[in-house]
Chains A and B, each alone.
Chain A
Amino acid sequence: MGSWRLEWVRMWRTKRIVALVATFVLLGLAGPIALHYLPELIKAGSNRGVQGLVFPNVQPVQGIANLGNNVSSIGTLVVAIVAAATLGVDSDRSVAAFYRSRLRNPVALILPRLTSSAVAAVAALALGALAAWYETEVLLGSVPFVPLVGGFLLESLWLCFVVAATAFFASLLRSAAGAAGAAVASILALAIAGAVPHLSPWLPNRLSGSLASLIGQSAGDLWKAVLVALLGTLVLSALAIRLFASREPAA
């Protein structure tokens, strides 16, 4: 067993892959189902006296948009937590000694963990998007395919950025909980920074929710955010590897 297979085994045995997939698939299914049945539920639950309640027509794209909105919040949080748990190499001093005394190359120590976290997040998103698309087709009607794929790719890039940011914080903080917390705090800071008009187009968190927004706009509007997310993912990953390499066991 090498370090790549180890990470595959880690994802399964710790049930982290199950947590990711369950979260994204549930989010994907919940949107179209809620949109389809919500009027009936409200009518059934309302008082008999209420009359003339009018519900707007539900557009099929809203089924997918719901997933996009939920990925921005719940999905991103779950990805950060799973990535922090996987990348918390030094959270247990004794376990860390086992890996670090054998894997001298920091790339071999970190890259499989980084990659497995990103691949698992993107795979879970893909299954969630597939579930949302299927449920939307069945309950609400057809959605345009190309924007859906485009939105999925941009949303995937955002999740990769989240994983890289979490890796960076894990390389600064030994505690996995601390790394997850710092990653979430930095994402919130990006959301606040988004209020600055000149800064907003460059922020990678613009890609968060692409599944929702891309159907209504062109990917061309997002090239600045794509560029920053790509560069940010690479730079944060490289920094994380470098910082992990220079870290010593707790004294």
Chain B
Amino acid sequence: MSGGLSTTGLVKRYGTIQALAGIDLEVPPGSVYGLVGPNGSGKTTALELIVGLRRPSAGLIDVGGIGERVAYCPDAAEFDPWLTASEVVTLSAGLIGRNVDDAKVKGALAQVGLGDATNRKVGGFSRGMLSRLNLGAALVCEPTLLVADEPAAALDPAGRWEVIELLGSLAGRTTVIVSSHNLNDVQRICDRVGVLAAGRLVYQGALRELLERAATALRVVVRQPTAPVVEALAAASWVTGVREEQPGVLIVEVSAMDAAEEGLPVVLAASGARLVEAGPAEGSLQEVFFQLTGTGPAGAGAQEG
């Protein structure tokens, strides 16, 4: 796989409304790229431009070496109701000129949890089943670029988990661009994110960097007693504050995430702490998302990034 996907100054206008105001996406090959943003920020428009369903008002899209086979999973997927699930999958491959045998079709359906619904007409499918079929119809094409718009929106928590894991498992073999409102999903599988707000790309980069920007606090769970651990942490140079949120649950405010990641194991070991869990304080990605997009309950102001 060579070259990734990039857009340069991508603009899309609908009459007088500017849906995208010149975005420059950089999607490395084999990566799982999360496109996030509030409703109306231009995510679906960007994805539809990438897969060729729309033409840009200005700018360029270069799908380079990964554009050989592009599969698109729109949100709120629908299919002709008189087709069976296996016919949809066969048709999906057939329309791009690929002949697939029964085993491959059944395999694709089993992969998305529809192994028992192979011969059922899709007219009777629930929204969740249609979402799974949407993904199965894309996977059977063995795409080099998979573009999925809110792929897990209609699924229950277990289904959401499965589908998001499945998308994550494609990393390395397939370049995946996934849009989602659910930041936990993005955090789980994406290595790179783009944050859209009002048609502008307000952040693009590694998820880790975004989390670092967000994570000014760590959540550390240790076994009792916690007093020696709190004392040791408070003495560390990179710690700006420690509080025990619940018994055994410490919120550690840090000055620099790099220093915290290096120093935390040392401090915990030195204080004899029995570590249960450690990670960024919950909701941190959401907070930075609110900051970047100027949304959220607090109505925080937008920051260009």
* A1/B87 in contact, CB under 8 A: yes
Q: Of A25-33, A98-106, A211-219, which binds chain B?
A: A98-106
Known contacts A1-B87, A1-B90, A92-B78; is-contact A101 B137 (Cβ 8 Å)? no
Known contacts A101-B72, A248-B54, A249-B48; is-contact A1 B79 (Cβ 8 Å)? no
Closest to B52 in A: A104
A93 to chain B, nearest CB (A): 8
A74 to B69, CA, bound (A): 46
At the interface, yes or no: A95 with Cβ under 8 Å from chain B? yes
| Chain A interface size range | 20 to 34
Partner of A2 from the list B14, B71, B72, B94 (CB cut-off 8 Å) is B94
* A102/B80 in contact, CB under 8 A: no
Residue of A9, A92, A94, A103 most packed against chain B (CB within 10 A) = A94
Contacts of A79-105 to chain B: CB distance below 8 A: 92, 94-95, 97-104
Known contacts A1-B87, A101-B53; is-contact A251 B14 (Cβ 8 Å)? yes
A94 to B83, CA, bound (A): 15
Closest to A6 in B: B91
**For residue B70, which residues in chain A have a CB less than 8 angstroms away from its CB?**
101
At the interface, yes or no: A10 with Cβ under 8 Å from chain B? yes
Closest to A99 in B: B95
* A98/B82 in contact, CB under 8 A: no
A99 to B94, CA, bound (A): 11
Residue of B53, B83, B87, B95 most packed against chain A (CB within 10 A) = B95
Partner of B95 from the list A13, A103, A249 (CB cut-off 8 Å) is A103
**For residue B79, which residues in chain A have a CB less than 8 angstroms away from its CB?**
95, 98
At the interface, yes or no: B55 with Cβ under 8 Å from chain A? yes
Partner of A94 from the list B78, B82, B92 (CB cut-off 8 Å) is B78
* B90/A249 in contact, CB under 8 A: no
* B82/A13 in contact, CB under 8 A: yes
Interface string of A1-35 (1 = CB under 8 A from B): 11101100110011000000000000000000000
Known contacts A10-B80, A249-B53; is-contact A97 B91 (Cβ 8 Å)? no
* A102/B76 in contact, CB under 8 A: no
B234 to chain A, nearest CB (A): 55
Closest to B130 in A: A94
Partner of B92 from the list A5, A102, A248 (CB cut-off 8 Å) is A102
- Having A101-B51, A101-B71, one finds 11 other A-B pairs with CB under 8 Å, namely A1-B90, A3-B95, A13-B82, A14-B82, A94-B78, A95-B80, A97-B74, A98-B92, A101-B70, A103-B95, A249-B53
Interface residues of A (CB under 8 A from B): 1-3, 5-6, 9-10, 13-14, 92, 94-95, 97-104, 248-249, 251
23 residue pairs from A and B, CB less than 8 Å apart: A1-B91, A2-B91, A2-B95, A6-B91, A9-B82, A10-B82, A13-B82, A94-B74, A94-B77, A94-B78, A97-B72, A98-B74, A98-B77, A98-B137, A100-B53, A101-B52, A101-B74, A102-B92, A102-B96, A102-B141, A248-B48, A249-B53, A251-B19
